[in-house]
Amino acid sequence: MKFSHYSYNDVVLRRSDLDILSGPYFLNDRIIEFYFSYLPSCYPSEEILLVSPSIAFWIANCPDIESLKDFIEPLNLSKAEGGNHWSLLVFERNANVFMHHDSYGGLNAGHAKQLYRAIVGYMGIPDIASACKYVEYSKTPQQVNGYDCGLYIAAIAKAICSWYESKSEQKDEDGLWFSTMNEQVNPPVVAEMRKEILGLVKSLMAMN
């Protein structure tokens, strides 16, 4: 299939992005943004917001606090991610907890904490300092190579969306998504996600 670019919502994918999905390469922000833009069509909910890598990076590094306030508050944030090595920072409003999932031994802990500090004051939680927790989840499924981190956050995000859709049926003692994540995210599943996302892009292109 020959093409120069493909647009999905506000995400533009190029031929080089499909080449990344065809081989054992590090995912770029466009592919992750595409998948995060697609997931809500499978798990529609006003309670879930998947934030693109570029926006998360800008929030974490914005030097102008007033501009940050004007930008963040309308988002009504539920979920965000960030970093050079991809990892996932999740905010669960009901539990008042930020949970950082890193598939490479906590390599992104500093970046995730920086993002947390940038947005925690805008979550609409009274007495934010004592009410809201930040947790580095040490049992996050771990990648088995140096380039699959983007696929892991895609798989974890999908598992969390799946958990949220059926959480009334879940009996996890922790009341969160950990069991679902551990069931749905492992090296064989993650390895197949390259084909899954590539097939998804091609099928959507064929519909246009």
Please give the domain boundaries of the chain with CATH numbers for all domains: 5-207 (3.40.395.10)
Per-residue HEC secondary structure of 108-158 comes to CHHHHHHHHHHHHHHCCCCCHHHHCEEEECCCCCCCCCCCCHHHHHHHHHH
Q: Counting beta carbons within 10 angstroms of the beta carbon of residue 112, is it exposed (0 to 12), middle (13 to 18) or buried (19 or more)?
A: buried
CA dihedral over 25, 17, 180, 188, signed as positive or negative? negative
Q: What is the pLDDT along the chain (208 residues), one digit of tens a residue?
A: 555 678 888 888 988 898 999 888 999 989 999 999 999 999 998 888 888 776 676 566 555 555 555 544 544 443 434 345 899 999 998 888 999 999 999 898 998 898 888 888 776 655 555 578 899 999 999 999 999 999 999 999 999 999 998 875 655 557 899 999 999 999 999 999 999 999 999 998 888 7
Is the entire prediction scored with pTM above 0.85? no
Side-chain-facing half-sphere of 26: CA atoms under 13 Å: 8
